[in-house]
Amino acid sequence: MGEERVFIIGEGEFLRGRVKSLLERLGFTVTCLPGDISWLEEVRESLEGGIVILSPPSEISPEEMERVFSLLPRAEGVIIATGEGETPVRGKRTITPESSDEEIAALVRSIVYEGRNTRKSPRVWTSIPVEYTAAGDRRVSDIVTLSYYGAFIRTLSPPPRGEVVTLRFRLGDRVVRAKGPVLYTVVFSPEGATVIGDGGGGINVVAFPGFAVYFEEISPEDSALVRALVDRG
């Protein structure tokens, strides 16, 4: 994941300390830029293809916020960082100092996964049996959709967002092994489907209860088999 770039625009220990260190440990290339957003128009071209984590002034108006977003159409995704106890920006991906490391990591990874699926990776419907392990609990289910970079697995009891799961499933004569975090879960109730996490943006058609997992660790040989299956449709 080292080719993925993150730009932090803002000040303070939360962003420049905790968030920066967390994302660097996960393999992202992180660049901290000055916190004043008044110069954003001058540098927006350099942010193309990267994820932007932006801490706007607390007094910014909704109109000014929309203008900021209009300056970032080529960014891979934008996350708003608000202060502790502040109201999240409605309709925008948001993190706060109260967010756990797992929540922050899952949100950033979901942007990477969504972008890769949208730009590069087709997705196929399958019914491939899969064995997965999360927090020491081993279960068997099936893969509903498969892409180059991840899968959606059907289950009535999905592991929580951010949980790292290991997968084993067979393609032809080979057992494919992959490992990665849960990006979002889909829980069904009498009221309908509830998506927990940043998963609704076209990543998966929400038709089944289950969870989406990102293939953070997979061998080149196994990845090639997955790609071949997806390419065949």
Give the chain's domains with CATH numbers.
5-99 (3.40.50.2300), 123-232 (2.40.10.220)
Return per-residue pLDDT of the chain as tens, 233 residues. 446 889 888 888 999 999 999 999 888 899 888 766 666 777 777 787 788 888 877 777 777 777 777 777 666 778 888 877 666 565 578 888 988 888 888 788 777 766 655 545 677 888 899 999 998 999 999 998 898 889 999 898 899 888 899 999 999 999 999 999 888 888 765 555 555 654 444 444 445 788 989 898 999 999 999 999 988 87
Helix (H) or strand (E) segment spanning residue 165: strand 164-171
Q: Is the pTM of this model over 0.75?
A: no
> Burial level of 156, CB count in 10 A (0-12/13-18/19+)?
exposed
User: What's the distance, CA 93 to chain centroid?
Assistant: 11
Is 216 in contact with 1 (CB distance < 8 Å)?
A: yes
